Structures are given as C-alpha cells and as structure tokens.
Amino acid sequence: QVTLKESGPVLVKPTETLTLTCTVSGFSLSNARMGVSWIRQPPGKALEWLAHIFSNDEKSYSTSLKSRLTISKDTSKSQVVLTMTNMDPVDTATYYCARILGGSYCPGCFDYWGQGTLVTVSS
C-alpha cells in the first residue's frame, strides 16, 4: 500500500525558513520510474506545483520560487525534504507531497498524494 505523509510546523513567522518532510511507504525512492513532488494550495485557491525529485537525484523547481526552494531526499529513511526560505504570509497554504510517475505508463502523473499539511505564516 502506497502512502505519503507530510510533516512539519503548522506555524512559521515571516522571514523564517520552512522545512517540510514527506515520509513515503509502499515504494522506494530508489525506484527509477518514480519521484516525489511538492504541491501547495492556498486556502480556497488553486494548486501550485513547487518542486520534484527523482531517484537519480534529478531535481526541478518552480521558476517563480526557484530561488527559495531546496528539495532533497534520504532514500534510507524514505523521506523527501523541502525547504522554503524567507516565508511570507502569502505562502500560507496546505502543502502536499505526491508521487510522480516517470516511466512509460502515465508519465507525469501524480498518482498518490499525502493528506497535506496546513502551514500558516504569521507573526
């Protein structure tokens, strides 16, 4: 059974750095046909893709947020970590991690998602 679970602070102050962890089970982060993405959703608003990482350590970032984001993984711990610097109230959102398929079947598909974690940015 594939599961993903986000963890991290529920409240951060403006200018602080946010660190979120996605712990996965049911698949390996070393699987060549899979990766993990982070996607966020401000309250009542649309989804916004942030970053992804694949088994070969290939990383990609949203062009608008690239300077603030870092994604990494610890395969032995089955964890993917996202850091976002210089947090602002507009970054208040539910942050999701999702598995992304990279093989010939359903490439680019986010097939499993975590339940998300709401992060509020406020002083």
Partner 1 sequence: DIVMTQTPLSLSVTPGQPASISCKSSQSLLHSDGKTYLYWYLQKPGQPPQLLIYEVSNRFSGVPDRFSGSGSGTDFTLKISRVEAEDVGVYYCMQSIQLPQYTFGQGTKLEIK
Rounded Cα gap, residues 96 and 20, in angstroms: 10
Q: Give the nearest distance from C-beta 9 to partner 1 in angstroms.
A: 20
Strands 93-101 and 59-61: unpaired
* Contacting residue, 3, 21, 60, 83, with partner 1 by CB under 8 A: 60
Q: Which stretch binds partner 1 (CB under 8 A): 9-17, 20-28, 59-67, 68-76?
A: 59-67
Nearest to 87 by CA among 12, 20, 22, 19: 12
* Contact (Cβ atoms closer than 8 angstroms) between residue 35 and residue 102: yes
* Contacting residue, 47, 86, 89, 118, with partner 1 by CB under 8 A: 47
* Contacting residue, 23, 49, 55, 92, with partner 1 by CB under 8 A: 49
- Between residue 7 and residue 46, which ones bind partner 1 under the rule CB under 8 A? 37, 46
DSSP state of 88: -
- Between residue 85 and residue 114, which ones bind partner 1 under the rule CB under 8 A? 96, 98, 106-111, 113-114
Nearest to 82 by CA among 44, 32, 41, 74: 74
Which chain residues interact with partner 1 by CB under 8 A? Answer: 37, 46-49, 52, 60-63, 96, 98, 106-111, 113-116
